[in-house]
Amino acid sequence: MSKLAFLGLGVMGGPMAGHLAGAGHDVTVYNRTASKAEAWAKDHTGTAATTPRAAAKDAAFVMCCVGNDDDLRSVCLGEDGAFAGMAKGSVFVDHTTVSAAVTRELYGVAKDHGIAFVDAPISGGQAGAENAQLSIMCGGDADAYAKAEPIMETYAKLCRRIGESGAGQMTKMCNQIAIAGLVQGLSEALHFAEKAGLDGRAVVEVISQGAAGSWQMANRYETMLDDHFEHGFAVDWMRKDLGICLSTANENGASLPVTALVDQFYKDVQKLGGGRWDTSALLKRLQALD
């Protein structure tokens, strides 16, 4: 068993850190809201630290799941940042969805400190974190990934190194690009079924067994038909991710017309007051057009 740190105890990070503690690892946690870290430590017989540096001290692995590029920099860098507390040879594993640019920046800083840095964004949502069924896509040095993989497998159903630093974040962008189109398509299908006077559940029962089937359809159609959008991955976070995708596409020349359109549809959902609704709330936008 290893001495670990986990930075960020949101709907994803909290359960992930819990799986590590449940597997017998010695886990110290840090969260910007200190009370959340203290509550986690009490529930999991772990330790709460007041700074990322204190959490990372003597840890062989530091796992992180925060909000965005700036949040990641803030927990890594500076006098109280994790890098200042990590020993040479230790491994930092970032599960945050951020830009490949900040990933490569921090990979370089970590390397200068003698620390390995693995970008390891996740897919599977809150349920995947709670049930240890996450898909983890990784970038970074092969030897660093090999060290970290057994730790990540504690909460993963699939964990793969895709390539060098930044490759994990690029793969997560592919994931979000694919999801954007799928959720819009599902929303349109359910909206069309309603307008046509069809039983949406019966429609999905049939089409989900053919080429139209997807994870989104299997896991979201019922809550969508029930007008329930208060769970899962929030629209605000999806827009953050799609913004990263579109910015990167401008740099590498990729054409993402559907992604750009769906991003604007999510902006419409935000205007409806649905920033904290989950991503399947694209259906609400269509209904609001009636």
Residues carrying an active site annotation: 172
Which of 13, 29, 218 minimizes the C-alpha distance to 126?
Answer: 13
CA angle 228, 231, 237 (to 5 degrees): 120
- According to DSSP, the residues that pair with 13 across neighbouring strands are none
d(CA 153, CA 173): 22
Burial of 169 (0-12, 13-18, 19+ CB in 10 A): buried
Q: In this structure, which amino acid lies at residue 78?
A: G
CA distances to 18, 64, 117, 136 from 33, in Å: 17, 15, 25, 26
Q: How many residues make up the chain in this entry?
A: 290
Contact (Cβ atoms closer than 8 angstroms) between residue 91 and residue 116: yes
* Positive/negative CA dihedral, 204, 210, 216, 219: positive
